[in-house]
Amino acid sequence: LVVSGEETPRRSPDARTRTIAARAQNVELLVLDADTPAELAERVQALAAQVIRLSYAQLGDLAASIYTELGDRPYRAAVVARSPEDAERQLLRVHAALQAGESRLYAADGRAFLGHVRGAARVGFLFPGQGTGRGRPAEALRRRFTQADRIVTEAALPTGDVVATEVAQPRIVTGSVAGLSVLSALGIEADVAVGHSLGELTALHWAGAMDLSSLLRMAAARGRTMAEHGRPGGTMAGVPADPETARRLLSGEPVVIGGYNSQRQTVISGPIDAVERVLERAEAAGIPGKR
């Protein structure tokens, strides 16, 4: 070790670096893999016992450390944790699934995962529609990734009621594109993409059918058109049934089928009171719908 008597000049961090360093990470991602289910269960259990002894700050160090230990092994687990205590809970969920002989787990809250890889994975992107998000687009990503921040800043998004159609639609597609830019920077590319309602425009952008400026113009025009021509007093609801079953429930009401989400969900639309009556009828038939 050579120590110089001269003072080494220090490079001052820029404002963005200082901002990121001063803010706690929202969550941490803990990932593990193993050659067998038994080995994975052992690793998950050991990590659960370890993580509860850590401070919040150490949780990020742990996430980085175990990431370097990944070996592209076939049995894999991941948890999204907000704190050491939360990490323990999520890891124990995965361990319980492994002990029960499960090889797959996709927790409904998106916090715990378990899988068995048998070959090369195919990735698909699903871009959301207007029912997603009421905050600022890609807020968490903007704090960490300059490309996401640049996309949102340059979009010059409308302000006001973020639920209003003309405001929400350009904000939602911008958030999706910002997220897409981060995935691309991390080397995560998809084989296929689909979009739900408004998200169809984002999927077309992903496929190269339109550039970002065209996407934002179309989303803004779509939002304005829907706001200008929409009728007050209307609503939509999802009915967990195939279209034929849903159509029978509409009998005698000024309600129409507004969307075919799948064979297990049909969207209906119409005046609020009429839609509510259809939902009551569906509930009585054992088909609980939701506005």
The CATH code of the domain that includes 148 is 3.40.366.10
Identify any residues that bridge with 257 across adjacent strands, giving them in sequence order: 268
Backbone angles phi, psi at 189, to 5 degrees: -120, 150
What would the mean pLDDT of 193-213 be, rounded to a whole number? Answer: 95
Quick one: how far is CA 208 from the chain centroid? 22
Percent of residues, the chain, with pLDDT higher than 90 = 67
- Give domain status of residue 13, yes or no: no
Q: Measure the CA–CA gap between 90 and 111, rounded to whole angstroms.
A: 7
Domain count, the chain: 3
Residue type, 254: P
Percent of residues, the chain, with pLDDT higher than 70 = 90
pTM for the model: 0.70
What would the mean pLDDT of 98-115 be, rounded to a whole number? Answer: 94
State the residue range of the domain holding 171: 124-229
* The predicted structure's pLDDT at residue 1: 39
- Give domain status of residue 169, yes or no: yes
Question: Which tokens is 263 given?
Answer: 């064979």
* The predicted structure's pLDDT at residue 21: 58
Please indicate, yes or no, whether residues 92 and 147 belong to a single structural domain of this protein.
no
- Give domain status of residue 158, yes or no: yes
- Structure confidence at residue 24 as a pLDDT band (50, 70, 90): low
- Give domain status of residue 5, yes or no: no
Nearest to 180 by CA among 137, 220, 217: 137
**Residues 66, 31 contacting (CB under 8 angstroms):** yes
- Structure confidence at residue 161 as a pLDDT band (50, 70, 90): confident
What would the mean pLDDT of 180-209 be, rounded to a whole number? Answer: 94
* The predicted structure's pLDDT at residue 5: 45
DSSP labels, 159-189: -S-TTSHHHHHHHHHHHHHHHHHHHHHTT--
User: Tens of pLDDT along 226-279?
Assistant: 888 877 788 889 999 999 999 999 999 999 999 888 888 999 999 999 999 999
- Give domain status of residue 145, yes or no: yes
